[in-house]
Amino acid sequence: MKITISLAQINVLSGNPKGNIIHAESFIKEAKKRQSILLCLPEMWTTGFNWQYLINNYEDHNYFLKEVSSLVREYKIWLYGSMPFFNDKKRLVNAGILFNPEGSIFYQYNKIHLFSLMDEDKYLDRGERLEVIDTGFAKLGLSICYDLRFPELFRTYALKGAEIILIVAAFPHPRLEHWKVLTKARAIENQLFIVALNRVGREISSDGKEISFFGNSTIINPWGNVVIEAEVDKEELLTAEIDTDYIKEVRNYLKVFPDRRDDLYEL
C-alpha cells in the first residue's frame, strides 16, 4: 500500500507549550496540503525537557490534549509525537500519543527506555507494554528516541507484524553518526520501514550545559536505503511516499526471518 508521511523537524520552545502548539499548526497544515496521511512531531514537542517547568508548572495534560485534538480534527490527519503525560499514579511519563483524524487518542505508547544521561529516570515513570497498532493504512510500532539503541524492541515489533516503526526523538550533537547507523541498522535487520524524526534547536540541561539537537530526520526502506533525509540543524517539513508492499519483496528475496535460529535465542 502506498502512503504519504510527513516529518516535522522543528525547534521546540522550552517550557512554552502554547507557543509550540501554535508553531506546530503551520506544519500540520502544510502536511495536509501535501496529502500526507500521517505527520510526526518530535519527542516532548509540547514542552521540551525543561524539568523545572514540568515539576513546578505542569499540572494538567488535558488542556494540551484538547488543543492538539482540535488541530488534528480540523486537518483530518493522523499525528504521532510525544509529550509529558500523567499516568494513573499521577506520575509523569514520556507519552508517545497517536491521534486519529477524528482527534481521538488511537494509542498511547509510554517510553520504556528512560535516558539517564538526561535525568529522565529521575523524573519519569517508564512504560510497560509493547503493541503493534493496526491503523488500517499500516501496522505501526511506536518508539521514542533512546529506544533506538535497543534492537530487542525493534525485533519484537517486527515479529509482531509491524510494517513501519515510528521514532520521534531529541537526539543531540555529538551523536549524529550513531543516529545514522542505528536507523539504517534497525531497517536492515528487521526488513521494514523506519520513519525517524528528530528535533532541532537548543536546550539547557539540568546541570546547566547547552544541548544542541541536530535534526537529520529520515525515512529508511527495508533494504536500508534512504528514502528521504532532512538537513542538519535546520527546521524542515520532510514528506515522502512509501510502499509497504516493498517489505514482502525484500523478505521474499533475502529470507532472514525463516533462517532465524529461534530455537537458540529468545528473540
The catalytic residue positions are 43, 111, 145
* 173 exposure class (CB count in 10 Å sphere: 0-12, 13-18, 19+): exposed
Residue recorded with cell 539503541 = 149
Task: Count CA atoms closer than 13 A to 225's CA, side-chain side.
Answer: 6
Answer for the pair 87, 125: CB distance below 8 angstroms, yes or no.
yes
Q: What are phi and psi of 12, to 5 degrees?
A: -105, 130
DSSP 126: P
Q: Which three cell numbers stand for residue 108?
A: 498511547
Burial class of residue 15 in the structure, from the number of CB atoms within 10 Å of its CB (0-12 exposed, 13-18 middle, 19+ buried): buried
Distant-in-sequence contacts of 18-25, Cβ < 8 A, 24+ apart: 20/45, 20/46, 20/47, 20/48, 21/46, 21/64, 21/67, 21/68, 21/71, 24/71, 25/71
- Whether the CB-CB separation of 81 and 111 falls below 8 Å is answered with no
